[in-house]
Amino acid sequence: MSLYSEHLKTVMRRFDEALEHTGFDSVLIFSGQPQVAFLDDNSYPYRVNPLFKYWLPITESPKSYIFYRKGETPKLFLFQARDFWHTQPQLPPGEWQELFDIQLIDTIQPVRSALSGALSQTAFLGEAFDGLSEWGLAEVNPTSLINYVHFQRSLKTEYEVSCLRKANVLAAQGHNAAKLAFDNKASELEIHHAYLGAIQCHETQLPYNSIVALNQNGAVLHYDVYETKAPAEHLSFLIDAGALHDGYCADITRTYSASAEGFYAELVQAVDEAEQAIIGDIEVGRSYYDLHVDMHRKIAGLLAQFGFFKISAEAIFERGYTRAFFPHGLGHFIGLQVHDVAGHLKNAQGESFAPDAQHPFLRLRQTIQAGQVFTIEPGLYVVDQLLEEFEGNEDFNWQRIAELRPYGGVRIEDSVHVTSEGTVENLTRDAFASLK
């Protein structure tokens, strides 16, 4: 049996459990549709409902539906518009076509008609649209059902991991092309175009807006301006960019120094080593939160080692100074979404971890389990806004901090898979290695 067919069996079993737990007989999942901009006739880029692509590798067919009732073959109402203005979406080949009862539609009426006797006990999952309230559905986007499915989605099937591997290889190709463009003194926009060219896609086919930051721009955590002119001098390059394979996401960050020597090149190497060291500490049963806190201890060590403070690493950590240099979380679940779901869920019943005052931006609080895939992405930056409250603090070596400011900062990010044996597979580093 193929990885995909096994995956579909798992999805069906998980929905069976979710439906039984929440009291619904069936579920109707809408793929979504393009949204038209205000006072315009142009649509925003379409993004498929992640719960739709959880069932099958279709990401470019808006206005389609999946209907599933326990014990039955899932039904796919596949929308194909009668439209001579636009190109019809190209459906991916594969055995999914044999595992669904497929009906082609060009309006929504056949869906409502075919399911009229079932809708009163059906949960709808997806974005609402005009007229949906008249369908007589049991409930639209019930939180209990969504939480149940999301919690189970945190454990990936072998099919999902295989898609994530392929997405990482694709993204690694783009990263290699971007690094070459940086070495050739390109502008941020030119580097961005080199990335897109290498993976043969346009911007709307990326899982998120790429971060392509030269020099001080690397300190902006979600920088996506893309300067059109190259700087007078290339000092540093931080790129956070991904790719998609059959709806599954890669999310990779690398940082480079233009010079092979000097304190910044050494800092990049040190952060890279610290990132690999924390990956080596991953083990089943450990709290991801504890891993995040341990990363702050490592960052404190780097801040002391490179002279950014006049106090010890332990004092840096205890006084909370690391949060000004490493303000984001260590990582997040990844899969059908870049920031995949259930990071804060304790269980399938929807209990959540309380927000943490010291680390409010950490997206993952679960205990590490076999089958999870998540990112590890420590960083160290000069973010002036975060340093304002410490102005004049003599614990800080402000001269050394000023030396880092023109470089922005450093971030290294890999996606890792905790295998069924409890070992750690680094999807990202394996992807780069496969291209050598």
Q: Answer whether 284's CB lies under 8 Å from 368's CB.
A: yes
Q: What is the pLDDT of residues 24-63, one digit of tens each?
A: 999 999 999 999 999 999 999 999 999 999 999 999 999 9
Indicate the CATH number of 3-153 among 3.10.580.10, 3.30.390.10, 3.40.50.1970, 3.40.350.10.
3.40.350.10
| Contact partners, residue 295, CB within 8 Å, separation at least 6 | 274, 278, 326, 330, 378
Q: Rounded to an integer, what distance in angstroms lies between the CA atom of residue 356 and that of residue 203?
A: 35
User: pLDDT truncated to tens, each residue of the chain (436 aa)?
Assistant: 699 999 999 999 999 999 999 999 999 999 999 999 999 999 999 999 999 999 999 999 999 999 999 989 999 999 988 776 777 777 778 899 999 999 999 999 999 999 998 999 999 999 999 999 999 999 999 999 999 999 999 999 999 999 999 999 999 999 999 999 999 999 999 999 999 999 999 999 999 999 999 999 999 999 999 999 999 999 999 999 999 999 999 999 999 999 999 999 999 999 999 999 999 999 999 999 999 999 999 999 999 999 999 999 999 999 999 999 999 999 999 999 999 999 999 999 999 999 899 999 999 999 999 999 999 999 999 999 999 999 999 999 999 999 999 999 999 999 999 999 999 999 999 999 999 8
Q: Taking Cα atoms as reference points, which of 422, 418, 430, 412 lies closest to residue 274?
A: 412
pLDDT value of residue 271: 98
Token pair listed for 389: 């409250």
Annotated binding site for Mn(2+): 240, 251, 332, 377, 413
Per CATH, which fold does 158-434 belong to? Creatine Amidinohydrolase (3.90.230)
Instruction: Locate the domains of the chain by residue range.
Output: 3-153, 158-434
pTM metric for this prediction: 0.96
Q: Rounded to an integer, what distance in angstroms lies between the CA atom of residue 262 and that of residue 428?
A: 27
| Contact partners, residue 126, CB within 8 Å, separation at least 6 | 29, 30, 31, 32, 49, 51, 52, 141
DSSP string, 336-390: SSSS-S-TTBSSTT--BPPPPSS-TT----SBP-TT-EEEE--EEE--HHHHGGG
Annotated binding site: 240, 251, 332, 377, 413
Q: Answer whether 218's CB lies under 8 Å from 404's CB.
A: no
Q: Tell which phi-psi region holds residue 252, choosing left (phi > 0), alpha (psi between -120 and 50) or beta.
A: beta
CA dist 151 to 342, 392, 428, Å?
A: 5, 46, 24
| Contact partners, residue 205, CB within 8 Å, separation at least 6 | 244
Q: What is the pLDDT of residues 342-391, one digit of tens each?
A: 999 999 999 999 989 999 999 999 999 999 999 999 999 999 999 999 99
DSSP string, 11-53: HHHHHHHHHHHHT-SEEEEE---PPBPTTSSPBPPP---HHHH
Task: Tell me what percent of the chain is helix, strand and coil, each rounded to the nearest 5.
Answer: 40, 20, 45
Q: Taking Cα atoms as reference points, which of 244, 185, 236, 186 lies closest to residue 210?
A: 244
